[in-house]
Structure 1
Amino acid sequence: MPKMEERLPHLVEQLDGWIEKSKSLCQHGKVASYIPELAKGNQAALGIHLIDGYGNEAMAGDASTVFTLQSISKVFSLLLALMDHGEQLVFDKVGMEPTGDSFNSMLKLELVQPGIPFNPLINAGAIAISSLITGASQQHKLDRVLDFFRLISGNEQLNYNEAVYQSELQTADLNRSMAYFLKDKGVIEQSVDDVLDVYFHHCSIDATCKDLARMGLLLAYNGYDPIRGKQLVPKRYVQIAKSFMVTCGMYNASGQFAIQAGIPAKSGVSGGILTLIPGAVGIGVIGPALNSKGNSIAGVDLLEKLSQHYDLSIF
């Protein structure tokens, strides 16, 4: 049987059929509204884009939709922090375990010692990670973040969505509470406002499914970009990030996704999902209608269909 990347050019017709079947689930999901600007997302949209290491692409549905990365960005802020500081310092600030709680819960921060966030992919953990991104000034930090996302996506046009950033800033009471708690415990050492500014900015980067697929391709090749022929991120750090994606990347539905699809993935509440087939393909999905866990209801179904059809599970 040919490898999946060898079949990419012939996938479009099949993808169209799967998109239509999975789209029927959109009516059962809800577009995120706790960040008001996200409520403008199209509940009926569903799209997918795949890219392999040879540059072959396949896409279907609403793959050209522009959306903000939201929690998908946490994978890459982690990589940047690791590149800035190394493992020891980073994991003095955050743990390596799934929580079983919702992504914005702060329950275990106080209940479980030593009082650091359980992992970098929940909000508290990503806020702690954002405090580790270095720069000579606040603007320098923001420039470094954007430059890094442009580098790993191969898209120099990526930019912050100012409207979404402002919307996040104005509805940030819970995240601000977490940040002040972390500041009190010494996990965060800088100004809370400055740390949250970095966090909200990387969550508000605009992207498309193609951008996610390119970022996923880099992860699939352990930090090596096969299209540009360059190692952009150390292999060890990418292995760490992918481990977190498997155990924590789909919020508190990560275990279920690991069983049903079995591929590393990270979702965001804008409806995006970044996933990959190790050593082969990067995949980006958008479907703004979310299930009760905060994941794209149709996007999850589509990826499960794809994985089960091609027997892609890494387990």
Structure 2
Amino acid sequence: MKNILKEVLEESKKYTEEGNVASYIPELKKANRDDVGICIIDRYNNIYTEGNYSTKFTIQSISKVIVLAMALMDNDWSYVFSKVGMEPSGDPFNSIMKLETNDTKRPNNPMINAGAIVTTSLIKGDSAEEKEARMLNFFRKLAKNDSLQINYDVYKSEKLTGDRNRAMAYLLKNDGFITGDVEEVLDLYFKQCSIEVDTVDLARIGINLASYGVDIETGERLIRKDISRMVKTFMVTCGMYDASGEFAIRTGIPAKSGVGGGIVASVPNTMGIGVYGPALDKKGNSVAGIKILEDLSNRLELNIF
């Protein structure tokens, strides 16, 4: 496996020149475009790493997977999906258009920004502080890393430049999809996106989803089986933004990307994969990360279809 990772990573590096580091959040511009890292954790808890696997970056939209699981644990699934849809949008992750043009005005799915803001609003707690603590603790549990923290420089940068998300949230509030204080919901959303991780954290989250919510080391159930199935299904249909269809055809692995450069992938009953490469394509996905996952899928026959 070590040799395979070396070859795959080396092959992926040439593609970093085709992408650019995210710049619409000023703090993200500080990433090194040429960084590429990978971690695999298999069902026997073997850990394989290569490249810039320990480089820290913010989780960004990968957080949508975890918060969706949390919202489904906190609420009846029929209530959650009365607030957010189940279908791919075919639009960019930050599109606002269908909030006005859809007959229901409901966000298409929980993996686009509008839908993710809704699922964040569904986290239970008697105060903003309690919701934040519950959210952060759940992330730590899934990653098996009690040191996970919010990167407050990125959080502040997102909050200062998040006018598009703010516009979405107020539309959602106006149409009844968000209740409560909009700024409080947005604050928690910006914080969840700003949690700092590395590829090992992502691979651990991936294997916990691959094992249908059961910790492979302790046997503890972290997520209900039906919820882990739902989450992985959304990863297949919507996890790579409006490139999800092509990614599913080429790679066939449930995955979720983030504009921080990370991708988490979860091969059912087999392995979790975390990759990092901050050079993004025009749709917001890691260029090198996609190449790594496609190559691994072909070499190791990971396609689930």
The TM-score normalised by the length of structure 2 is: 0.99
For 1:32, the equivalent position in structure 2 comes to 22
Partner amino acid for 1:230? E
Does 2:161 match 1:164?
no
Measured after TM superposition, the shift of residue 166 of structure 1 is: 0.2
Does 2:245 match 1:252?
no
Measured after TM superposition, the shift of residue 277 of structure 1 is: 1.4
Please list every run of 5 or more consecutive structure 2 residues that lacks an aligned counterpart in the other structure.
none
Structure 1 segment 231-246 matched on structure 2, within 5 A? 231-246=221-236
Measured after TM superposition, the shift of residue 299 of structure 1 is: 0.7
| Matches of 1:90 and 1:18, distance apart in 2 | 39
Partner amino acid for 2:289? G
| Matches of 1:232 and 1:26, distance apart in 2 | 35
Residue number among 22, 26, 34 corresponding to 2:12 in the alignment: 22
Residue number among 55, 62, 71 corresponding to 1:65 in the alignment: 55
Whether contact under 8 Å (1:116, 1:187) holds in the other structure is yes
Structure 1 segment 128-143 matched on structure 2, within 5 A? 128-143=118-133
Measured after TM superposition, the shift of residue 84 of structure 1 is: 0.5
Whether contact under 8 Å (1:53, 1:227) holds in the other structure is no
Structure 1 segment 292-303 matched on structure 2, within 5 A? 292-303=282-293
Structure 1 segment 108-257 matched on structure 2, within 5 A? 108-257=98-247
Residue number among 81, 85, 89 corresponding to 1:95 in the alignment: 85
- Deviation track 1:189-229 (CA, whole Å, cap 9, x = no partner) reads 11110000111111000001000000000100111111121
Partner amino acid for 2:303? S
Partner amino acid for 1:55? N
| Matches of 1:59 and 1:271, distance apart in 2 | 17
Partner amino acid for 1:268? G
| Matches of 2:127 and 2:301, distance apart in 1 | 48
Q: SS at the partner of 2:263? A: strand
Q: SS at the partner of 1:218? A: helix
| Matches of 2:75 and 2:211, distance apart in 1 | 23
Q: SS at the partner of 2:146? A: coil
| Matches of 1:309 and 1:296, distance apart in 2 | 20
- Deviation track 1:107-132 (CA, whole Å, cap 9, x = no partner) reads 11111111110000000000011110
For 2:277, the equivalent position in structure 1 comes to 287
| Matches of 1:252 and 1:308, distance apart in 2 | 22
Measured after TM superposition, the shift of residue 42 of structure 1 is: 0.9
Measured after TM superposition, the shift of residue 17 of structure 1 is: 1.6
Partner amino acid for 2:24? Y
For 2:69, the equivalent position in structure 1 comes to 79
Whether contact under 8 Å (1:51, 1:214) holds in the other structure is yes
Partner amino acid for 1:309? R
| Matches of 2:185 and 2:246, distance apart in 1 | 32
Measured after TM superposition, the shift of residue 54 of structure 1 is: 1.8
Q: Percent identity?
A: 52
Q: Which runs of 4+ in 1 moved over 4 A?
A: none
Residue number among 252, 257, 280 corresponding to 1:262 in the alignment: 252
Structure 1 segment 46-61 matched on structure 2, within 5 A? 46-61=36-51
| Matches of 1:238 and 1:277, distance apart in 2 | 12
Please list every run of 5 or more consecutive structure 1 residues that lacks an aligned counterpart in the other structure.
1-10
| Matches of 1:39 and 1:89, distance apart in 2 | 38
For 2:96, the equivalent position in structure 1 comes to 106
| Matches of 1:280 and 1:20, distance apart in 2 | 24
Whether contact under 8 Å (1:68, 1:204) holds in the other structure is yes
Alignment coverage as a number of residue pairs:
305
Q: SS at the partner of 1:285? A: strand
Measured after TM superposition, the shift of residue 53 of structure 1 is: 2.0
